[in-house]
């Protein structure tokens, strides 16, 4: 068994010597600075440091080394404690007593360890091992931290293709395949739609200094769903109440029936307002309007029409808006082309071309068909804009903007102020209600004003609680969006033509000459252009 080398002080008559016991069986030899540190700790008188270093490095320990002339007070067995790994463990190193010195007891060792700052996790087995073997100049793990018990993130399992409405097939040439979108997922009444595995919070640990070690934060999720869906009693499963189709819009599960228009939306159908998905086999003619809580799918051309969707909008042949066409979608917009129209969507947008249109998005915009052109008009989003070309040789006024999230940050701050107001109001209601309840329990009469307050509180507190929950969830969604688009930029695969105005997070630049294959990012107050 390997034993480290160690040293001790010996009093021989009127002189003090350093006696060295060399290591055995592959043990480790101590260094000079360990001896000097020990001597400093016991406040040993002056000695010859050079002679000490030469003696230890000489490796000849048959005779002890003279240190000092005089009578020294006997030193007891010593323990030095070193806290390491940011308080995760403590090491103890023991040194033998000098001539006439006593050995440490278990209680004395524990007391010395605590004096060194260790408050938790002392290993009595390590102390017992030392007391049995007295191994000196050897690191004992004298204390260890209690590790935190990590929690578990919440998980949601969806029993349908969540990407069906968000990712149309992209062909090798960059165009979008509208023939096999697969963006409607059928469900039957009673089908399970999603299962939530709730988050489990972790348990804090304690380091050897007695301080808490917090567990990692866990991600909390919730099941969000629309109409015609039932939540199980345990709050962890969603089931469809109807036969129809299911979509996922901004993490909200929605089911609905589908209203199919066999031909065009025109004077034969009038305007359409529907609580589910609307699928049009033909065109949507100028002047007509479709409003749907679910998706809107148009197999033909949308002309100067208005399409308002609570989900996604899919235009398989695009929109020729004639400056009258308008699309408003809470989900994604996918179109063959968008021309002379206005688009506002809370999700992402994919098209083969955007021409002379005003487009506002919250997520990424991808225009990468055969031409992949954004030419004329104004296109802006919080996400990344990825196109084949910006502008054209014709010089039509074209603005392409990646918006700054300053307005979103202001929005979250306003929400936080409202959250604080609601919490303060609820605390006031609780405090007054508890006071009135105490009076009633004590048999005292309450005033008409107090009774009226209790009635108002019974109505207003649940309403405030719902508002608090909704605004807190909405604020979390906005914060996640800010984080998601921190590195948003403009990417162009082919050409950016002269005259195009670009902006990235409040930095603006007018392109003065044609450039190709580039990536535009904000650099201070300017737009920096890098090659792809």
The tens place of each residue's pLDDT in the chain, 532 residues long, gives: 789 999 999 999 999 999 999 999 999 999 999 999 999 999 999 999 999 999 999 999 999 999 999 999 999 999 999 999 999 999 999 999 999 999 999 999 999 999 999 999 999 999 999 999 999 999 999 999 999 999 999 999 999 988 754 445 556 656 654 434 344 477 888 999 999 999 999 999 999 999 999 999 999 999 999 989 999 999 999 999 988 778 888 889 988 878 888 899 988 888 888 878 899 999 999 999 999 988 999 999 999 999 999 999 999 999 999 999 999 999 999 999 999 999 999 999 999 999 999 999 999 999 987 778 999 999 999 999 999 999 988 888 999 999 987 777 788 888 899 998 988 888 888 887 777 777 777 777 777 777 777 777 777 888 888 889 999 998 888 788 787 888 889 999 999 999 999 999 888 999 988 998 999 998 888 888 888 7
Question: Which residue reads 């004298």 in tokens?
Answer: 142
Backbone angles phi, psi at 474, to 5 degrees: -65, -40
- Based on C-alpha coordinates, what's the Rg of the chain? 38
Neighbours of 451 (CB within 10 A): 12
Which residues have C-beta within 8 Å of that of residue 235, sequence separation ≥ 6?
196, 223
Residue pair 160/193 in contact by the 8 Å Cβ criterion: yes
Cα four-point dihedral sign 76, 77, 83, 88: negative
Closest CA to 485 of 314, 361, 374, 377: 361
Which residues have C-beta within 8 Å of that of residue 158, sequence separation ≥ 6?
193, 194, 248, 253
SS3 464: helix
Residue 289's H or E segment, with its range, is strand 289-292
């Amino acid at each position: 068994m390997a034993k480290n080398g160690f040293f001790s002080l010996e009093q021989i008559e009127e002189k003090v010597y350093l006696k060295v016991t060399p290591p055995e069986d592959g043990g480790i030899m101590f260094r000079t600075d360990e001896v000097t540190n020990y001597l400093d700790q016991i406040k040993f008188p002056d000695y010859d440091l050079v002679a000490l270093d030469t003696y230890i490095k000489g490796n000849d320990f048959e005779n002890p080394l003279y240190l000092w002339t005089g009578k020294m007070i006997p030193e007891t067995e010593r323990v030095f404690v070193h806290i390491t790994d940011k308080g995760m463990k403590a090491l103890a190193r023991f040194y033998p007593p000098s001539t006439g010195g006593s050995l440490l007891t278990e209680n004395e060792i524990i007391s010395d360890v605590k004096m060194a700052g260790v408050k938790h996790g002392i290993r009595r087995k390590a102390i017992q091992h030392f007391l049995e073997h007295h191994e000196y100049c050897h690191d004992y793990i004298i204390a260890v931290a209690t590790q935190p018990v990590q929690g578990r993130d919440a998980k949601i399992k969806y029993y349908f293709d969540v990407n069906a409405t968000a990712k149309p097939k992209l062909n090798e040439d960059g165009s979008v395949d509208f023939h096999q979108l697969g963006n409607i997922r059928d469900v039957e009444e009673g089908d399970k739609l999603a299962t939530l595995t709730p988050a489990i919070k972790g348990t804090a640990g304690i380091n050897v200094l007695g301080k808490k070690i917090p567990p990692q934060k866990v991600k909390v999720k919730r099941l969000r769903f629309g109409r015609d869906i039932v939540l199980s009693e345990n709050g962890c499963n969603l089931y469809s109440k109807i036969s129809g189709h299911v979509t996922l819009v901004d993490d909200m599960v929605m089911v609905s029936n589908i209203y199919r228009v066999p031909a065009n939306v025109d004077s034969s159908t009038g305007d359409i307002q529907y609580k589910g998905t609307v699928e049009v086999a033909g065109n949507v003619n100028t002047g007509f309007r479709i409003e749907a809580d679910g998706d809107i799918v148009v197999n033909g051309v949308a002309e100067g029409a208005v399409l308002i969707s609570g989900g996604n909008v899919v235009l398989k042949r695009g929109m020729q808006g004639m400056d009258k066409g308008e699309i408003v979608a809470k989900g994604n917009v996918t179109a063959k082309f968008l021309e002379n129209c206005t688009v506002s969507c809370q999700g992402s947008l994919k098209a083969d071309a955007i021409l002379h249109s005003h487009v506002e998005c919250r997520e990424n915009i991808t225009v990468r068909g055969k031409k992949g052109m954004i030419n004329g008009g104004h296109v802006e989003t919080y996400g990344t804009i990825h196109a084949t070309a910006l502008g054209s040789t014709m010089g039509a006024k074209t603005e392409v903007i990646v918006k700054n999230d300053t307005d979103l940050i202001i929005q979250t701050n306003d929400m936080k102020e409202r959250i604080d107001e609601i919490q303060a109001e609820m605390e006031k209601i609780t405090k007054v209600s508890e006071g009135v309840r105490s009076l009633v329990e004590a048999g005292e009469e309450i005033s008409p004003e107090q009774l009226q307050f209790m009635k108002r509180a019974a109505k207003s507190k649940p309403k405030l609680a719902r508002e608090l929950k909704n605004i807190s969830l909405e604020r979390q969604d906005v914060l996640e969006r800010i984080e998601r688009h921190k590195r948003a930029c403009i990417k162009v695969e082919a050409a950016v033509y002269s005259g195009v105005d670009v902006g990235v997070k409040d930095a603006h630049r007018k392109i003065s000459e044609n450039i190709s294959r580039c990536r535009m990012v904000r650099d201070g107050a300017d737009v920096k252009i890098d090659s792809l």
